[in-house]
Structure 1
């Protein structure tokens, strides 16, 4: 099925795969679709916004942060927002990052079945119901009212974003070793009740390498951006660059955005962004989602911020499978993940 004003087919996931997904993702159930020739796996609510996102008006001073989930997105949002906003720490501390940098397809995660369930849970609690309305408002509606410069977050691949994007505004793309991505995404989808993954990590990894994970195929997502990395409006970063040399990487982002700051200002910014400080920063957390029951109270949105932690989760067979899978997918490209 093709949506009006949207060039890609949207189809239901094949029944066998849908059964497997619904077995482990109890929150999403069978509400799964695949989009375009690469079969990007998304939640069916995406159909309502596909054309709106693809055709959204883009401003010349917009900055899009594009990542596969759990690749350092939130960290990058805070970096970019502060650099673009003249290091306005006061506003950053007093305005949630979710409002400063809208996640354009978040309403997809708030799929109808889950949203109806949440509204019943909060029946009679007007403030909570208003909060649910806010988080389920389509991202294109939210960003249309944002003042410039807009910092817009998305996990959609480049092909599903406005085709004029790179020729109009700047894009920061962040990639991360898929083994660390899988571990972090496993914890998130186990805590996010709209996904509610109930299997163990080995099961999760098995779905991940079969591209049966939301926003997958993982490597197609990365390769689309990698092929555009030489465009003057594209900055392609590896998460490992942030963990290994935060200061140098932040300065590169500043240069890309055309921003100049003193050495002292960069030192202050990097202290603010140091992961231990960042993790404790309430404005970048999602406590509001925990209060609404969208995320489990015990869940951690910002976890450890380290590279190479996957080794604590992979047995020998999984490690060998991962190496073969990565090598196979990178053999026709010069993209390589930084060693950690």
Structure 2
């Protein structure tokens, strides 16, 4: 742990990674919340299995190691017992994770405002009051957005996903992007070219499937198919963890903030983005390849 940044929040404890014995073929999906985590995990599960009907069971088979809900000894034992190629999930920035020279780290990002408004929907779908202070139901004063802008990247604020935490995630991943085993993906690009994302992830993992199989895997990972089969694809689907498994897959739309933020709120957001990111990095973090093309 000495060579990693400490991230501790109400849900997160990245010291739990100290109990994981990393294997050279491990696959890590590393994202801020609501940026395409489950989507990318599903893509990885489909490619590893080659089976469009695979029962992903993400919470158990591809566990979120950082979360305090499950005893870490039980998670570590389950991971150690796996004989197949493993994949794990993390919402901790890359500077808080153990880095292996051979394991693959797949980092996924989304426009911060889309992630924020998707997270607002998400917390309403969790039958626990963890985030009521940050995201009050029927927020009429704009407190949720003020906390989004004011929250810190670490400590208690971490799990409420403030903008500072998203920026920290991006900067930590981007700082390692010259490594051959660290790759950055964007939600907008996943929407625009899902087949291209499958091809890239398949190459990263050293996997090969026939065109016919790939077409079936891609079809299984479309938003509509995953939403229609939410009990199968949502984390802990069918177990009552969410009020609605289907609602876990909100809308997959972009521009969720349009018409919902004042000009002052948008200006405050832009000021913070510009203070921490250069124009090229901001363009990519917001829009993926489309932002890069506009540089």
Matched, 1:145 2:81: yes
CA displacement, residues 22-61 of structure 1 (integer Å, 9 cap, x when unaligned): xxxxxxxxxxxxx74xxx5611772xxx434145210011
Deviates more, 1:306-315 or 1:242-251: 306-315
Give the ranges of 4+ consecutive aligned residues of structure 1 lying more than 3 Å apart after TM superposition: 5-8, 139-142, 286-289, 294-299, 332-335
Offset at 1:196? Answer: 4.1
Q: Distance in 1 between matches of 2:199 and 2:259?
A: 32
Determine which of 317, 326, 329 is the counterpart of 2:276: 329
Q: Distance in 1 between matches of 2:71 and 2:22?
A: 19
Task: Note the residue ranges of structure 1 that are not aligned, 5 or more in a row.
Answer: 9-34, 111-135
Cα RMSD after superposing both structures: 2.6
Q: Distance in 1 between matches of 2:16 and 2:89?
A: 15
Larger radius of gyration: 1
Matched, 1:258 2:206: yes
Return closer, same or farther for 1:137/1:194 CA change in 2, 3 Å cut-off. Answer: farther
The aligned counterpart of 1:320 is 267
Q: Distance in 1 between matches of 2:28 and 2:12?
A: 22
Number of equivalences = 269
Task: Note the residue ranges of structure 2 that are not aligned, 5 or more in a row.
Answer: none
1:49-64 to structure 2, matched below 5 A, reads: 50-54=14-18, 56-64=20-28
Give the match's secondary structure for 2:120: helix
Q: Distance in 1 between matches of 2:40 and 2:203?
A: 15
1:183 and 1:313 in contact (8 A); partners too: no
Determine which of 45, 66, 71 is the counterpart of 1:105: 66
Q: Distance in 2 between matches of 1:299 and 1:314?
A: 27
Q: Distance in 1 between matches of 2:196 and 2:207?
A: 14
1:282-321 to structure 2, matched below 5 A, reads: 282-285=231-234, 286-290=236-240, 294-297=241-244, 300-321=247-268
Determine which of 125, 136, 146 is the counterpart of 1:206: 146
Taking structure 1 as the reference length, the TM-score comes to 0.71
2:108 and 2:185 in contact (8 A); partners too: yes
Matched, 1:174 2:108: yes
Deviates more, 1:65-74 or 1:259-268: 259-268
Matched, 1:187 2:150: no
CA displacement, residues 289-311 of structure 1 (integer Å, 9 cap, x when unaligned): 52xxx433598222111222222
Return closer, same or farther for 1:81/1:231 CA change in 2, 3 Å cut-off. Answer: same
Q: Distance in 2 between matches of 1:309 and 1:152?
A: 29
Q: Distance in 2 between matches of 1:312 and 1:269?
A: 36
Offset at 1:80? Answer: 0.8
The aligned counterpart of 1:88 is 51
